[in-house]
Amino acid sequence: EAQVTQNPRYLITVTGKKLTVTCSQNMNHEYMSWYRQDPGLGLRQIYYSMNVEVTDKGDVPEGYKVSRKEKRNFPLILESPSPNQTSLYFCASSPIPLLADLLEQYFGPGTRLTVT
C-alpha cells in the first residue's frame, strides 16, 4: 500500500531534550516536506526537500533541522525543543513530474508533539 508513515504518532517531552520524528514514504517520491499545524494558523511549511541531499527552508524553519540521506526518509529533528514547538506535525511526499499537472501531495497521519 502506497503510504507515508510517521513515528511516533504521539510524543510528550521536556524542554531541551533532543528528539527526532521519522517520516518514510514507499512511493519513490522525489519531493518531501514537513508542516506544522496550530489552531488558528493553519498548516505552515517547516522544511522541504526536492531530492536526496537537497533541502530547503519553508516558512517556519527556526528550531528545526532535517536531513535527506535516502529518498524514502525525511526525518525532522528538534535539537532543543521548546514549548512553542508543541504542535501537530505532518510529513508529505509528492512526485515531481515534468509538467506541473497533478502535483498531488500524500500526507502522513500526523505526529502530535507536546513539549513541557
Partner 1 sequence: DAKTTQPPSMDCAEGRAANLPCNHSTISGNEYVYWYRQIHSQGPQYIIHGLKNNETNEMASLIITEDRKSSTLILPHATLRDTAVYYCIVRVAVDMRFGAGTRLTVKP
- One residue of 7, 13, 45, 86 binding partner 1 per CB under 8 A: 45
Residue type at position 47: Y
Does the footprint of partner 1 cover residue 75 (CB under 8 A)?
no
C-alpha cell read off for 7: 513515528
Q: Which of 42, 62, 69, 116 binds partner 1 (CB under 8 A)?
A: 42
Q: Is residue 38 a contact residue for partner 1 (CB under 8 A)? A: no
List Cα–Cα distances, 21 to 6, 51, 65, 100, 108, in angstroms. 7, 19, 11, 30, 12
Phi, psi for 36 (deg, rounded to 5): -120, 150
98 binds partner 1 (CB under 8 A): no
Q: Which is nearer to partner 1, 13 or 45 (CB)?
A: 45
Region near partner 1 per CB under 8 A, out of 20-28, 65-73, 74-82, 87-95: 87-95
C-alpha grid cell, residue 20: 527526532
What nine digits make up the cell of 10? 504521539
DSSP-derived secondary structure letter, 64: -
Cell 500524500 -> residue: 106
Note whether 74 binds partner 1 by CB under 8 A.
no
Binding site for partner 1 (CB under 8 A): 4, 31, 33, 35, 37, 42-45, 48, 50, 59, 88, 90, 92, 94, 96, 100-110, 112
